[in-house]
Structure 1
């Protein structure tokens, strides 16, 4: 018998303010056509003044718990993937724990930028399969609009705010690829590429800083590394692209999504795409897309799902799970 971390519930939350591409035309040299053609993005959501990452995370968590039919005290651990926590410390996860009224268990943050949710899933999966916890609430939440340089047209139009959450629960499996739950994980990083995607602020500068990105370099690494990590994770359980029902990728750029799917030999009608509505929400993008995919009726119980993401670090990885 094998313990599997099975998805019990999923949910998401988006701030009320919707920002269409046309809004940027008022302040920078860009256009709706320019943004769409290079990224596929049409609109994104921005958090309201005073609305924090833990606020968004809490709302997404509540939605996931409701779908799972559970309360906060049914959860043993909260893992929040974010690069935009409210404060340097304490963690956003402990803030979510308090707001949910959860009086047991433990909570912590994971920081791997856009790959954060994949890393958080890997963490939660390890806690479950080792027998340390029975149920985990895994959240990706970001307020990346707070990191933007609004004079840099190459980056400020790409990002948005939001949150998504999954409830994972321990179930017995047969130890085969037919099991429901997380089947395999592949994680990677290479700190030599820090300069192509980073924020120029932090404790060392005493400032929040702004996001800096070398777009062409990020694109090159993303296409190569995302397909490779997905193949590796599938091979670990004796599967291939032909077995995949849905790719749920990090929603950064439609061209990266299309190129990765092509390398995996998976048609685009088996890829969940939300980048047009949300932009790049970093660690929130995969759980957001999973929740939307379920609400659209795309992802169904028994489907084989591959999630993959790459972010600053560089950090990248993938998770194969059966819904």
Structure 2
């Protein structure tokens, strides 16, 4: 009876369609269905890579420090580290010096040059020679000019007069309207020109005995550049060396205005041309309406110092 029990069991298995395993443990020792599919599979990136050749693995890969720097903002440079432009490409002490950093420094260089440009300097107000100033005052008083000595003027930017005079009359009977601030040398030249050239010319050009009673000035001392330009050399008006005459008031009440008169054949035209030409004997610079557009309505007269007493008269 014992020999027939296994046979009966096997016959039952065959009738139900079961089969015996070819090898390995019995079916009862296998893990439950689905266990093998759910087992964790190693990630591809965790698999060991083939050893690099000649030690050149990851040669072109950035180091972890640079990757971190590229994701975080560049730190602000400390005051002790220099200017912002010098440290604009620094990354927390990174010592890499690539072409990009070099190009950035070259681009910043012009800006640094502009910042470091030296400031504009102006000459100080020129001091009067005491002996020359005293002589000038004496001669101006002898001509009968009316003036007062004013306080020293220093407006910066090279503008000013060391010993200015506030002139109200260039001769006893010839006013300066309005009164003007200038150096003694300029006032003396104006007084001499009026007495020795302007008055005789008016007596000839107009009715006998006609004199000039007023010099109507458009500008004396003023701190500005030449021709009121924004750039260029400083005007002689800014040194108290110049006066602009816009017109003359005659003793008969008539006013002779300065205007272009090169082709004016009247005695008025002759008068203006005569006094303009004679002014070059007393002043170092004479500019009339024929010189340029900036002087079409006045005579510019100044006593600028030039070598060998050179005159510029136009």
TM (norm. structure 1) is 0.23
- Greater strand share, 1 or 2? 1
Higher relative contact order (Cα pairs below 8 Å, separated by 6+ residues): 1
Instruction: Report which of the two has the higher share of helix.
Output: 1
